[in-house]
Amino acid sequence: MKTIIEPFKIKSVEPINFTTREERENILIEAGYNPFMIKSEDIIIDLLTDSGTSAMSAKQWAGIMDGDESYAGSKSFFRFESKVKEITGKKFIIPTHQGRAAEKILFSILGGPGKYFPNNSHFDTTRANIEFTGAEAYDLLTEVGKHPEIRADFKGNMDVEALEKFIKEKGSENIPLVMLTVTNNSGGGQPVSMQNIKEVRKVCDKYGLPLFLDACRFAENAYFIKLREKGYENKSVKEIAQEMFSYADGATMSAKKDALVNIGGFLAMNDETLAMNARNLLIVTEGFPTYGGLAGRDLEAIAQGLEEVLQESYLQYRIKSTEYLGNKLLDAGVPILEPPGGHAIYLDAKRFTPDIPPHQFPGQSIVAALYLEGGVRSVEIGSVMFGKTDKATGEFIPPPMELVRLAIPRRVYTQSHIDYLAEVIIEVYKKRDKLKGFEIVYEAPMLRHFTAKFKPID
Ligand code: F0G
């Protein structure tokens, strides 16, 4: 087998600003060791997120020029709508400015006190939009998905038995919908199998509940099904994606991921009353239903991106290049969440720096070290993001996993960037005994990870 090469040539480039180790030392101190506080021009490889960071194609840029900016009835909307309908098979397509805007509209209508929303794993914004209405969000991830060191094909699956138990406990009348996040971002970018989607659908049918997909990374999920699930090896990824959506009544989408654009999203559904209510809210909060918080040109770019993301040469490159990084790290003994996910590699901080206890933020220590070593920006997904302090006892309650996410922007970095990245991570791993724990010197009352300031503990 020959090297899998990037399935594109580069027409437009963005220079990287190289910093020295000494400069990075000062930048880290100024940023309070928080990667969100570092200016992007001071980053060499930016893996903070795969969201809105994709490189667009020449055809997408052409679409930007061709965008119809009419307030109502824009031709760009109809192109967008027809592409989303073709993939999702849903009757009503509502554009939003990004994924969380679709969530906000959906849960404003269906949420409220006394309502419960199960998911394999809610993403933070999904959970926040549910909880903001007074409803409760529950993660029902399959057991194997909770163990970073275990390799399995579909660690993003929902625990179907737990779902049925949950519905019986809470009462189906209190559950407005069941959600499946494909791929499961909070659980390591792991895919959900078609079998699991079908089983969840069956339970939903039994209790008369709608099923929605959080479809941000639907194409990556569909490609994993093609690679790993029996019976799908000869189907096209588009057919697989269409089948995934066929079991759902609707979807929320952040186009900033698998539509290969820098901004955008949508809400798709079959229920006419729900769509009418959603459009009414859309007009108040986002915009008229044929642009929904976006410019006409953005809708063109999304339509074109949805076409390109399902090309198998693209998906092969995408999934294999993430795996390439994962395998390089595993070969060097670096502990990662296994197997490699679709959009990101997650370092397992608990095994990387076993001597730093959760309340001293082992993940944050690795994040800082990666920046210092090579100007790499990553993000902690562990005790900084999800750790809580018991109000009564003052005791620190860590989340189950301490991870560092290295999210890979789509079509942005080449194999030599990834080789450099692996060298940086492996170097930090070799010096892991020197890593220090951190303490927080400032934190905001909510979502502290964005603005917190830290200090190394001597
Ligand atoms: N759902 C999932 C699974 C996501 O990963 C995200 C965003 C959203 C919903 C919200 O979409 O950002 O367009 O409003 N994830 C980004 C990330 C921010 O870095 O993982 P959005």
Question: 283, 308, 333: which is the final residue of a domain?
Answer: 308
Answer whether residue 130 is part of any domain: yes
- Ligand 1 contact, 126 CB (< 6 A): yes
Task: Report residue 432 as tokens.
Answer: 């892991």
- Ligand 1 contact, 90 CB (< 6 A): no
Q: Separation of 427 CA from ligand 1 center, angstroms? A: 30
Amino acid 390: pLDDT: 86
Q: Separation of 217 CA from ligand 1 center, angstroms? A: 10
State what percent of residues in the chain have pLDDT above 90.
95
**Could you count the other beta carbons within 10 Å of the beta carbon of residue 448?**
15
Contacts of 332 (CB under 8 A, 6+ apart): 422, 426, 429
Amino acid 34: pLDDT: 97
Residue 81 confidence (pLDDT) above 80: yes
- Ligand 1 contact, 186 CB (< 6 A): no
Q: Helix crossing, 237-246 with 75-88: angle to 10°?
A: 80
| Nearest Cα residue to atom 18 of ligand 1 | 51
Do residues 298 and 52 lie in contact, with contact meaning Cβ atoms separated by under 8 Å? no
Same domain, 128 and 181: yes
Answer whether residue 13 is part of any domain: no
Answer whether residue 5 is part of any domain: no
Answer whether residue 9 is part of any domain: no
Amino acid 386: pLDDT: 87
Same domain, 239 and 358: no
| Nearest Cα residue to atom 1 of ligand 1 | 123
Do residues 75 and 303 lie in contact, with contact meaning Cβ atoms separated by under 8 Å? no
Same domain, 274 and 192: yes
CA distance 257 to 254: 6
Task: Report residue 424 as tokens.
Answer: 């940086």
- Ligand 1 contact, 346 CB (< 6 A): no
Same domain, 292 and 346: no
State what percent of residues in the chain have pLDDT above 70.
100
Q: Separation of 408 CA from ligand 1 center, angstroms? A: 14
| Nearest Cα residue to atom 8 of ligand 1 | 99
Averaged pLDDT score across all residues of the chain: 96
Q: Separation of 213 CA from ligand 1 center, angstroms? A: 13
| Nearest Cα residue to atom 4 of ligand 1 | 123
Residue carrying the six token digits 């006190």? 113
Amino acid 372: pLDDT: 98
221, 254, 256, 302: which to mutate for ligand 1, most atoms within 8 A of CB? 254
For residue 27, the enclosing domain spans 21-50+311-456
Do residues 203 and 160 lie in contact, with contact meaning Cβ atoms separated by under 8 Å? yes
Q: 219 or 394: which carries more pLDDT confidence?
A: 219
Amino acid 71: pLDDT: 96
Same domain, 318 and 439: yes
Please state whether beta strands 116-119 and 136-139 pair in parallel, antiparallel, or not at all (unpaired): parallel
Q: Separation of 173 CA from ligand 1 center, angstroms? A: 28
Same domain, 43 and 142: no
Do residues 89 and 268 lie in contact, with contact meaning Cβ atoms separated by under 8 Å? no
Residue 88 confidence (pLDDT) above 90: yes
Amino acid 445: pLDDT: 82
Answer whether residue 257 is part of any domain: yes
> Beta partners for 116?
136
Same domain, 440 and 398: yes
Atom of ligand 1 nearest to the CA of 102: 14
Do residues 78 and 70 lie in contact, with contact meaning Cβ atoms separated by under 8 Å? no
CATH of the domain at 376: 3.90.1150.10
Please report the sign of the dihedral spanned by the C-alpha atoms of residue 148, residue 152, residue 156, residue 157: negative
- Ligand 1 contact, 24 CB (< 6 A): no
Half-sphere exposure of 195 (CA within 13 A, CB side): 14
- Ligand 1 contact, 256 CB (< 6 A): yes
- Ligand 1 contact, 119 CB (< 6 A): no
Atom of ligand 1 nearest to the CA of 48: 19
Question: 281, 308, 335: which is the final residue of a domain?
Answer: 308
CA distance 428 to 437: 15
- Ligand 1 contact, 98 CB (< 6 A): yes
Do residues 300 and 76 lie in contact, with contact meaning Cβ atoms separated by under 8 Å? yes
Same domain, 195 and 280: yes
| Nearest Cα residue to atom 16 of ligand 1 | 51
- Ligand 1 contact, 262 CB (< 6 A): no
Amino acid 339: pLDDT: 97
How confident is the model over 97-103, as a mean pLDDT?
Answer: 97
Question: 308, 325, 340: which is the final residue of a domain?
Answer: 308
Residue carrying the six token digits 């809400």? 267
How confident is the model over 271-291, as a mean pLDDT?
Answer: 97
Same domain, 379 and 261: no
Task: Report residue 385 as tokens.
Answer: 């993001």
| Nearest Cα residue to atom 19 of ligand 1 | 49
Q: Separation of 125 CA from ligand 1 center, angstroms? A: 7
Answer whether residue 357 is part of any domain: yes
CATH of the domain at 135: 3.40.640.10
Atom of ligand 1 nearest to the CA of 264: 13
Residue 444 confidence (pLDDT) above 90: no
pLDDT category of residue 107 using cuts at 50, 70 and 90: very high
pTM: 0.96
Do residues 138 and 159 lie in contact, with contact meaning Cβ atoms separated by under 8 Å? no
- Ligand 1 contact, 181 CB (< 6 A): yes
Same domain, 41 and 149: no
Residue 208 confidence (pLDDT) above 80: yes
Answer whether residue 2 is part of any domain: no
Q: What is the pLDDT of residues 246-275, one digit of tens each?
A: 999 999 999 999 999 999 999 999 999 999
Same domain, 253 and 330: no
Residue 446 confidence (pLDDT) above 80: no
Q: Separation of 33 CA from ligand 1 center, angstroms? A: 24
Count of domains forming the chain: 2
| Nearest Cα residue to atom 11 of ligand 1 | 99
- Ligand 1 contact, 125 CB (< 6 A): yes
CA distance 244 to 229: 13
Rg (CA), the chain: 22
Same domain, 207 and 303: yes
Peptide bond into 183 cis (omega under 30): yes
> Among 3-7, 295-299, 445-449, whose mean pLDDT is lowest?
445-449
Answer whether residue 227 is part of any domain: yes
How confident is the model over 149-157, as a mean pLDDT?
Answer: 97
pLDDT category of residue 91 using cuts at 50, 70 and 90: very high
Q: What is the pLDDT of residues 210-233, one digit of tens each?
A: 999 999 999 999 999 999 999 999
123, 381, 449: which to mutate for ligand 1, most atoms within 8 A of CB? 123
Q: Separation of 188 CA from ligand 1 center, angstroms? A: 13
- Ligand 1 contact, 360 CB (< 6 A): no
